[in-house]
Amino acid sequence: MEVLMPEPQIYVERTLAIIKPDVIDKEEEIEDIILRSGFHIIQKRKLRLSPEQCSNFYAEQFGKVFFPNLTAYMSSGPIVAMVLARNCAVSCWKELLGPSNSLRARITHPHSLRARYGTDELRNGLHGSLSISSAEKEIRFIFPEAILEPVPTGQRARDYLNLYVKPTLLAGLTALCKEKPADPMIWLADWLIEHNPNKPKLQYRISQ
């Protein structure tokens, strides 16, 4: 009896992360935690939002008591915005962040980023998208030039593998055989990173 295996699929999700003005001096430390938690930083930008831009970014919070303080806080200095990618990026980033109230986070999620870097309910150190749809909207807001294409699955995923992944991997293995390095795994990993045809370019900009 033939056992039917499910077709292989590729799942990659993106979310927006923001290091807020009061903890921007912890940028390298926070990025290290992000990378060690399995995320890839595919775009990065340093900028300063105006109060009007903050109002537009947090438009869904308009009318709430804390809204004026929120926009003043977010426009008080430069921020670092990053597009993070991994499987289940939105939920994993939210879990790593912890509760939005840093005081509560220290009690219920003491190892979360907001517990470590936040001050209170308003100044919680970092931002994360609440859902996949809000992530797409927020990424377009901060990175207007970003192209957010649907993640390929099924036949489109196999076509992508055949077009980009397999040729690059074959070329890397061929080069590995010719080079015969002492540590083939590390050599191949470095070669693939260097020759990735879709290697993302981090963007560093400061906007006033």
Residue 127 φ/ψ, nearest 5 degrees: -115, 150
The Cα–Cα gap between 79 and 81 comes to: 6
Structure-block tokens of residue 69: 């303080």
Residues 6 or more apart in contact with residue 66 via CB below 8 angstroms: 121, 122
The Cα–Cα gap between 186 and 94 comes to: 32
From the number of C-beta atoms within 10 Å of its C-beta (0-12, 13-18, 19+), residue 133 rates as exposed
Which stretches does DSSP call E strand in 4-150?
Answer: 13-19, 40-47, 79-86, 126-128
Q: Give the residue carrying structure tokens 């009007």.
A: 52
The yes-or-no answer on residue 127 being catalytic is yes
Distances (CA, A) of 183 to 179, 191, 192: 11, 12, 14
- Catalytic pick from 40, 109, 111, 127? 127
Active site residues: 127
